[in-house]
């Protein structure tokens, strides 16, 4: 299947798409023995021979990690302030990146991969992939407010809603389970904040059917191809 040359170079782990475009402009990339300088060039990885400075480039093996993120880690590949990142918890030589973000103090399900297509699939709003969160609020959630959050409120000039909110503690209305299909930064915290609630604790317990049951906090496991295929089959309709 044909793909843009810069995208292919990025997926092989050579460089970012922008940097790959620089390599193309510098005439350092050849396809089937011919130098390519056209940024719109497409290639078929199954048929074409792509080289960088004369050495053949091969696709990097796709890897998928499911991390039970602890508090105190930045969801980023690096941090200018020198803080610990989630990559510090993963043992791999392959260049990977987080799928979406979890706040510094938020725990739970976090996926990391080098598969850009899978990342785009999970995060694209049109697929409406559910995320489940266990939330502790600073005060009991009023039933009227619970219904408002399900029906929808205006957040950042856009109507936003939770798919479901249920109470998890016996008689404790400050502990709830939330289901959302939105992936905006701080979405859960901002939704509650809009109605005057402060989130004391937030844990993502499920993302697209994947959970961290059996995975200790700070640990991870490698997802199988079958698990990735199931996500595509479930939400790619």
Extents of the domains making up the chain: 3-56, 64-125+210-235, 130-207
Strand 220-222 versus strand 64-69 pairing type: antiparallel
Report pTM. Answer: 0.81
The predicted pLDDT at position 226 comes to 95
For 41-60, the DSSP string reads: -EE-TTT--EEETTEE--PP
CATH of domain 3-56: 3.10.290.10
Pick the CATH number of 130-207 from 3.40.50.2000, 3.30.500.10, 3.30.2350.10, 3.40.50.1110: 3.30.2350.10
Catalytic residue among 38, 53, 78, 103: 103
Catalytic annotation present for 78 = no
Is residue 12 within 8 A of residue 48, CB to CB? The reply is no
pLDDT 10s digits, 21-79: 999 999 999 999 999 999 999 999 889 999 999 999 987 788 999 999 999 999 998 88
CATH class of 64-125+210-235: alpha beta
């Amino acid at each position: 299947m044909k793909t843009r040359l810069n995208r292919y170079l990025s997926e092989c782990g050579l460089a970012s798409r922008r940097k790959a475009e620089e390599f193309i402009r510098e005439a350092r990339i050849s396809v089937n023995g011919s130098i390519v300088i056209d940024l719109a060039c497409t290639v078929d990885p199954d048929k074409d021979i792509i080289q960088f400075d004369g050495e053949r480039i091969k696709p990097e093996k796709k890897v998928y990690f499911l991390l039970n993120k602890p508090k105190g880690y930045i969801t980023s590949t690096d941090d200018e302030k020198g803080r610990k990142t989630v990559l510090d918890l993963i043992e791999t030589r392959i260049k990977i990146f987080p799928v979406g973000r979890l706040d510094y103090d938020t725990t739970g399900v976090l996926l990391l991969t080098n598969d850009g297509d899978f990342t785009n699939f999970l995060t694209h709003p049109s697929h409406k992939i559910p995320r489940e969160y266990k939330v502790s609020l600073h005060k009991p959630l009023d039933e009227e407010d619970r219904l408002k959050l399900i029906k929808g409120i205006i957040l950042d000039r856009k109507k936003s809603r939770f798919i479901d909110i249920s109470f998890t503690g016996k008689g404790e209305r400050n502990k709830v389970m939330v289901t959302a299909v939105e992936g905006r930064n701080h979405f859960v915290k901002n939704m509650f904040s809009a109605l005057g609630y402060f989130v004391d604790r937030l844990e993502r317990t499920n993302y697209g059917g994947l959970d961290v049951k059996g995975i200790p906090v700070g640990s991870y496991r490698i997802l199988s191809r079958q698990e990735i295929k199931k996500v595509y089959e479930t939400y790619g309709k």
